[in-house]
């Protein structure tokens, strides 16, 4: 035993070290490992299988050649973002493409920003064994023949099994003819994602979906945006769903979403929950869909049009789809009835681990109770737009599932504002890991009024009583928090009044702000109170999304604030947080498609002294970007126009290539202590 005390970690056999290094996934940790010694450097490089290249495309001649084992390559984040990676007309373009193949010969999973088809004409021949490809494009489609974007990929990559177009703007008519032209490639595809994520999506028509699934009979996972409104030509209905199941009987994942649900507009919580029109989906079709897809493990049907009295049809999921683990239903009504404590509807799907219910008009507390009893394995639950669910009902639900439930999202439910939502989650407070709530503070004032009556003439201040009652709770395992908040509202009640002040392991927070600033003459207070998040000691990552906030970008009418003042309102205090990574979406002017960082925003972001990564999802002037050089630890900055339509004018002051290069040169000239 004494001899073992002298064994050094460096003395372990290379095979053991190789296996240990292969298990390390964090990029910074791997980089630190590679700096220990030459042996570890070589081992780390030989075990790295995933690489996301950053840097400027003008420096491609510096492409590293030590990552020979990389199989997963991401080329979508090179700077300037969205700029063509190679110029097809350049005589050196083919040479640079071949350089990629020599430096990274093992690539089988490629993510690339394909602004025009020439990029794929250059890169697809270099890696003919590609099996997984994700294309990204937020710029407008060029005037080219239908399907031309995909031809080089299908022509050279005959082993293609996975294609992700969820962030790739194209016409819905583009994909079917391309698949038809290359039947062998289409037959080899097992994963296809055409779930368009931008709000201007049109959705695939029924005949296009049938053409795609007919060409790809071996699909195992299929995600698509479509439309279920029977008033429109090409809507999805009974015949389409049954034919889809017949074309691809091996599906384990089916995800169909109506294009209108992609809109960021928040529903009115006071609505009854019923759409104006019914979808043409019968109970017999739902039964046939279940019977036709026996291998189904995940099902999403976000219809946006009423599908009524679905409980009896959904009961078949348990017997016809025994592997089903995840289910999401949108605009389905009657999914679980109250039948004298008898399990029915989706409550019979006892194997479910994830359940999402959206806009179910007749979902009640009793329905939740039945679901909790019938689905004891639920680890993730999401409810959206269900106006009859109350705090009492959800508390019983979470109490019954307290051994398994760790991920909850409560959104747009009239009777579940911030305070009620958190009180309803009290039974799982010690184990929940991910949470989304709406920051609706209306009950905070009501609680303060109630406490005023209770306290009476006592010397204790009601505010302190309120804080003691709700702020002393500890959310011991909560590491991710997502918030929705209306424009003009403050963030401070989150930590001062509603009971989320004590989250010792909270590492990441996502805040989405929505609303029309033009309906408010001026911010009601001087700051949004981001500094109130200082109480979270481990908070290091933040997504501050003001992309759903609209206002006047240039000149506001008299008495109204422009977007620069709203940005000051929302970002004031961000420098007090010890953030290492920040994603920021500036507010926008819809009339001009203007999403640009303002002077106050740049100045406030420059006060974040601990930031290492800053991604601005919009544009910025060069002189404002230079403010960010004051951040001593900043290593990675990028402007990303990842919204549709991205600006086509690359010579604009905010996004020109020369401006980006000058800023990156200045950033790279600085000395970073670590």
467-485: pLDDT as tens digits:
445 545 899 999 999 999 9
User: What pLDDT, on the 0 to 100 scale, is given for residue 442?
Assistant: 75
Closest CA to 357 of 342, 368, 341: 368
Confidence of residue 6 (pLDDT cuts 50, 70, 90): low
User: Residue 650: is its pLDDT beyond 80?
Assistant: no
pLDDT of residue 614: 96
The pLDDT, as a whole number, for residue 463 is 39
> CA-CA distance, 18 to 5, in Å (whole number)?
23
Q: What is the mean pLDDT of residues 195-204?
A: 78
Tell me the mean pLDDT in the region 69-74: 95
pLDDT for the residue numbered 7: 66
Average pLDDT of the residues in 357-385: 95
Residue 459 pLDDT exceeds 50: no
Evaluated on CA atoms 87, 93, 99, 101, the torsion sign reads: positive
Confidence band (pLDDT; 50, 70, 90) for 199? low
Provide the whole-model pTM.
Answer: 0.91
Tell me, what DSSP letter sits at residue 490?
A: -
pLDDT in tens, 19-37: 888 899 888 899 888 888 8
Scan for tokens 């897809």, then name that residue: 293
Q: What is the mean pLDDT of the chain?
A: 89
Asked whether the beta carbons of 473 and 502 are under 8 A apart, the reply is yes
How much is the average pLDDT of 360-375?
A: 94
- Is pLDDT at 497 greater than 90 in this prediction? no
Distances, alpha carbon 473 to alpha carbons 9, 448, 497, in Å: 43, 18, 11
Task: Work out whether strand 434-438 and strand 407-411 pair parallel, antiparallel, or are unpaired.
Answer: parallel
CB-based burial, 496-510: b 16+ in 10 Å, e otherwise: bbbbbbbbeebebbb
Host H or E run for residue 306: strand 298-307
Q: According to the model, what pLDDT value does residue 630 have?
A: 93
Beta bridge partners of 204: 226
CB 668 within 8 A of CB 645: no
Whether 493 shows a pLDDT value over 60: the answer reads yes
Residue 464, pLDDT above cutoff 80: no
Q: What angle do CA 561, 565, 568 make, to 5 degrees?
A: 155
With bands split at pLDDT 50, 70 and 90, how would you rate the model's confidence at 71? very high
Residues whose CB falls within 8 Å of the CB of residue 370, separated by 6 or more in sequence, listed in order: 336, 338, 341, 343, 344, 345, 347
Scan for tokens 């207070």, then name that residue. Answer: 525
- Identify which has the larger pLDDT, 16 or 219: 219
**Structure token pair of residue 307:** 């599908």
| Six-digit token string for 126 | 């270099």
How many alpha carbons fall within 13 Å on the CB side of residue 299? 28
pLDDT on residue 270: 75
Higher pLDDT, 476 or 659: 476
Q: What is the pLDDT of residue 334?
A: 93
> Is the alpha carbon torsion for 647, 653, 657, 660 positive or negative?
negative
Q: How far apart are CA 255 and CA 349, in angstroms?
A: 18
**Cis check: omega of the bond before 80, within 30 degrees of 0:** yes
pLDDT on residue 472: 54
Peptide bond into 372 cis (omega under 30): no
Give yes or no for residue 129 having a pLDDT over 70.
yes
């Amino acid at each position: 035993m004494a001899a073992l005390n002298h064994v050094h970690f460096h003395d372990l056999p290379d095979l053991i070290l190789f296996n240990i290094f292969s298990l390390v996934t964090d990029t910074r940790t791997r980089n630190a490992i590679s700096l220990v010694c030459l042996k570890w450097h070589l081992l780390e490089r030989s075990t790295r299988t995933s690489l996301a290249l950053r840097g400027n495309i003008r420096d491609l001649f510096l492409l590293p050649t030590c990552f020979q084992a990389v199989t997963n390559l991401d080329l979508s984040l090179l700077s300037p973002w969205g700029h063509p990676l190679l110029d097809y007309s350049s005589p050196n373009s083919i040479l640079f493409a071949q350089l990629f193949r020599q430096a990274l010969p093992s690539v089988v999973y490629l993510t690339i920003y394909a602004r025009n088809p020439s990029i794929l004409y250059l890169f697809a021949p270099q890696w003919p064994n590609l099996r997984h490809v994700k294309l990204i494009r937020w710029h407008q489609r060029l005037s080219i023949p239908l399907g031309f974007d995909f031809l080089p990929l299908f022509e050279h990559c005959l082993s293609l099994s996975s294609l992700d177009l969820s962030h790739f703007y194209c016409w819905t008519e583009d994909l079917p003819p391309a698949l038809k032209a290359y039947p062998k490639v289409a037959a080899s595809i097992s994963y296809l994602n055409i779930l368009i994520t931008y709000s201007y999506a049109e959705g695939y028509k029924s005949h296009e979906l049938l053409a795609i699934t007919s060409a790809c009979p071996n699909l195992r996972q299929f995600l698509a945006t479509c439309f279920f409104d029977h008033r429109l030509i090409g809507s999805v209905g009974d015949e389409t769903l049954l034919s889809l199941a017949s074309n691809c009987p091996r599906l384990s994942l089916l995800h169909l979403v109506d294009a209108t649900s992609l809109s960021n507009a928040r529903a009115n919580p006071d609505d009854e929950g019923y759409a104006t029109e019914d979808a043409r989906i019968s109970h017999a079709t739902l039964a046939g869909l279940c019977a036709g897809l026996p291998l189904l493990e995940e099902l999403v049907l976000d219809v946006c049009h009423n599908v009524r009295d679905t409980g009896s049809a959904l009961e078949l999921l348990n017997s016809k789809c025994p592997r089903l683990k995840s289910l999401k239903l949108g605009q389905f009504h009657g999914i679980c009835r109250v039948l004298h404590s008898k399990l029915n509807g989706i409550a019979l799907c006892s194997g479910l681990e994830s359940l999402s219910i959206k806009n179910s008009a007749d979902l009640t507390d009793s329905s939740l109770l039945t679901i909790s009893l019938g689905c004891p394995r639920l680890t993730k639950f999401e409810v959206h737009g269900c106006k009859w669910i109350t705090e009492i009902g959800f508390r019983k639900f979470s109490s019954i599932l307290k051994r398994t439930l760790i991920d909850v999202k409560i959104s747009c439910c009239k009777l579940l504002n911030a305070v009620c939502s958190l009180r309803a989650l009290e039974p799982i407070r010690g184990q929940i890991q991910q949470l989304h709530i709406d920051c609706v503070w209306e009950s905070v004032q009501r609680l303060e009024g109630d406490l005023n009556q209770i306290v009476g003439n006592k010397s204790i201040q009601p505010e302190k009583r309120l804080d003691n009652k709700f702020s002393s709770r500890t959310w011991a395992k909560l590491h991710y928090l997502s918030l929705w908040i209306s424009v003009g509202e403050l963030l401070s009640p989150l930590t001062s009044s509603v009971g989320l002040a004590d989250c010792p392991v909270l590492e990441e927070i996502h805040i989405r702000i929505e609303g029309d600033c033009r309906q408010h003459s001026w911010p009601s207070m001087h700051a949004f109170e981001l500094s109130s998040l200082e109480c979270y000691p481990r908070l290091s990552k933040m997504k501050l999304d003001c992309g759903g906030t609209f206002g006047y970008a240039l000149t506001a009418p008299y008495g109204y604030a422009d977007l620069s003042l709203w940005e000051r309102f929302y970002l004031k205090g961000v420098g007090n947080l010890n953030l290492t990574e920040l994603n920021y979406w500036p507010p926008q002017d819809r009339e001009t498609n203007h999403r640009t960082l303002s002077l106050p925003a740049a100045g406030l972001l420059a006060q974040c002294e601990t930031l290492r990564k800053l991604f601005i999802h919009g544009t910025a002037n060069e002189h404002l970007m230079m403010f960010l050089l004051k951040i001593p630890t900043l290593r990675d900055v990028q402007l990303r126009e990842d919204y549709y339509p991205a600006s086509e004018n690359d010579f604009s002051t905010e996004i020109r290539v020369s401006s980006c290069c000058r800023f990156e040169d200045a950033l790279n000239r600085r000395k970073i202590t670590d």
